[in-house]
Structure 1
Amino acid sequence: MPHPARSTVTLRDVAAAAGVSVSTASRVLGGSSRTVASEYAQRVLAAAAELRYSADASARAMRRANDSIAVVGDDLTTPSMGMVAAAMERRARDAGAFVTVSSTHGTAERQLETVRLQRALRPRALILTSSRLASNVLGGRLLDELLGYEREGGRVVIVGDTDMPFDSISFDNHGSAKELATHVAGSGHRHITILAGVRGRGNVSARTAGFVAGLREGGVEERDIRILHCAGSRQGGFDAARQLLTEGLEPPHAVLAANDTIAIGAMSAFRAAAVAVPSDISVTGFDDIELATDVTPRLTTVSLPLAQAGAEAVRLAIADRAETEHLMMRGQLVVRDSTAIQVA
């Protein structure tokens, strides 16, 4: 007489025993029309039999009529997010899937609410893009929601810094910022203002720390490094630069902005005040958005592989893999016309 199924056995248990991803186990046991390699299918069926697993109603409900990938982002209006999302859409289309995008405005409550909604809609995968996603946010409720989604057969990918146990892609913001700041210090600048963006954001905080480390290593005195926080927008950069002009510039001066949009706003303020870039002041950005080469002077910046990150996120979302992947991407210094060498 067969043993009854044990209700404590989950799809994740079966996937772990078979050495495959939860999504692969779901396709085998849920009757998906998508093909799974014979070796993996046999391992999943053997593990399910050994553990006496029985798919429940929620797992069966994960059978989908579409191949949607739901992207949940902090702010969809930034040029950098536009580059990431465009690359995701291209990679998904090549794989026969499609992308939907939702904005959370960077608040944990909206992230949780959006993930719950998307979980009910049962997309093939969830990709979260955020500067920082911590496992203890909201008392762990967001993590629990994402784990529940994966137990039902979905896959979670995070683009940004995280300690959550999902596939992730992060950027070496600190190291890349340090390289840029070392270049600025090496060019003879000895008075620096960092336009640091919104206080407390993970990515810009890492960039600010990297700027300071590179400047100090390059011989700039700590007392000659000023940090101004501002909105991470063109207007934020414009307003911060006007404040800087009001307080006075001590030459040779340089402004290091936390992103290209802030830097472009700052250059507009300097131009309006007849302060020439780079002869009177050098300016740098971060990200290398398309506009960085269209402004005059062209912007010295750090080029992040944003399009590559978007494409890789979709690859991780749709691939059949047993191992969790964590990718770290580093930016590349791009020296253009907005910085000058200062002669002592």
Structure 2
Amino acid sequence: MAARAGRARATVRDIAAETGLSIATVSRVLNGQANVAPHTRELVQRAVGRLGDQAPRPRAIREPSPGAVYVRCPYVLTDYFGLIVSSVGETIELHGRQMILSAGEAAQAAPVLPGLPDRQDIAGAILILPPEPGEELALLRDRGFPFVVIDPRTPPPKDIAAVSAAHFAGGRKLMAHVAGLGHRRVGIIGGPVAWLPSEARLAGYTASLADAGVLLAPELVRNVPEPSTEHGYLAACELLDLPERPTALVAFNDKMAVGALWAAAERGLSVPGDLSVAGFDDIDVSRATSPALTTVRQPLQEMGRMAVTLLVRLLSRHAVEALHVSLETELIVRGSTGPV
């Protein structure tokens, strides 16, 4: 397209129409934001060249922003979230920055994300299991604010850095162990519906059962609104009171597995003699039960360290190619699982 000589100055909207990119993406390039793919930046620059002097010129990529790292964990800092937050804080300090922590369930209702880019004291953020929908995360990304998500609830939008555990692989390894002990009627105490970890682990369980020639019956699956010990207990009670009870229970996390142990004890079932029970996470409670829980170890502290490393690279304006990082899990076999 020829330069628009004698016409009004070209706008960001004109460049967006020229390139087929969104106005937000073009703005990020023109404002010198670093979290833009190289080919996208080049596309905008070529369009600016075609539009000639009428087009706004891209600014140089900005230097790393000063300021603290905002860490949002809108949950009680138990041994699960506490391990993640502790490793995040230690790693932030190693990089010479300070941490601003927002934690506790009361923080879930606070509309925090829209105001983060306007805070001069904050350079970037770590968002742990954010309750906000993906659309809000995408809006934060489009404003050029650097952040990393740890343990996302839903599949993270494109171009958003995220760190999680390999939930599918962990679920598959755990169920392969249970099926290898001869269990074919296995009850699943799943996490909240539509959570990414819930769906991924269930897919892993189902894959291993299929390998053993078993089709998971819908009556053997229970999902809970919150992954707590109490909800694990209630779900286990329903499963163990079926006319044909399962011979094993696999819970979404260790706390829910503890609830399953309570339900088994109330019914006079021995573990693992009458019933095998397994959890997920390998937090402290998994080693405090009798028998100790078979579980899947998530690298919680490494998730925190990796998230800070990604954020520091974003703050330093480095290109980050591996935006969605999935860390390996490990099967930990203890006394709560045994042969049928």
Shared fold (TM-score greater than 0.5)? yes
Equivalent residue runs for 1:180-219 within 5 Å = 180-219=174-213
Distance 1:294 1:78 in 2: 15
Equivalent residue runs for 1:81-92 within 5 Å = 81-92=81-92
Distance 2:251 2:284 in 1: 16
Question: Displacement, 1:82?
Answer: 1.8
Match of 1:333 in 2: 331
1:12 to 5, 8, 29: 29
Equivalent residue runs for 1:238-317 within 5 Å = 238-248=233-243, 250=245, 253-317=247-311
- Unpaired runs of 5+ residues, structure 2, are 1-8, 13-25, 37-54
Question: Displacement, 1:223?
Answer: 3.9
Distance 1:313 1:63 in 2: 18
Q: Is the 8 A contact 1:14 1:51 kept in 2?
A: no
Distance 1:170 1:129 in 2: 10
Distance 1:78 1:220 in 2: 36
What's the RMSD between the two structures over aligned residues?
3.3
Question: Displacement, 1:286?
Answer: 0.9
Identity across matched positions, percent = 25
Match of 2:18 in 1: none
Q: Is the 8 A contact 2:239 2:245 kept in 1?
A: no
Question: Displacement, 1:249?
Answer: 5.1
Secondary structure of the structure 1 residue equivalent to 2:158: coil
Distance 2:31 2:231 in 1: 51
- Unpaired runs of 5+ residues, structure 1, are 23-49
Distance 1:199 1:63 in 2: 38
TM normalised by structure 2 equals: 0.74
Q: Is the 8 A contact 1:133 1:163 kept in 2?
A: no
TM normalised by structure 1 equals: 0.74
Secondary structure of the structure 1 residue equivalent to 2:241: helix
User: Which range is displaced more, 330-339 or 213-222?
Assistant: 213-222
Secondary structure of the structure 2 residue equivalent to 1:124: strand
Q: Deviations over 1:85-110 (max 9, x none)?
A: 11101111222223233359699x94
Distance 2:117 2:140 in 1: 8
Q: Is the 8 A contact 1:168 1:325 kept in 2?
A: no
Matched, 1:234 2:229: yes
Match of 2:98 in 1: 98
Q: Is the 8 A contact 1:191 1:224 kept in 2?
A: no
Matched, 1:127 2:126: yes
1:78 to 1:205, Cα distance in 2 relative to 1, 3 A: farther
Question: Displacement, 1:156?
Answer: 1.5
Question: Displacement, 1:51?
Answer: 7.1
Question: Displacement, 1:281?
Answer: 0.4
Q: Which amino acid aligns with 2:158?
A: M
Secondary structure of the structure 1 residue equivalent to 2:127: strand
Distance 1:222 1:244 in 2: 14
Equivalent residue runs for 1:35-54 within 5 Å = 52-53=57-58
1:192 to 1:145, Cα distance in 2 relative to 1, 3 A: same
Q: Is the 8 A contact 2:181 2:338 kept in 1?
A: yes
Q: Deviations over 1:217-245 (max 9, x none)?
A: 12334349710122310111111122223
Question: Displacement, 1:14?
Answer: 6.1
Distance 1:202 1:106 in 2: 23
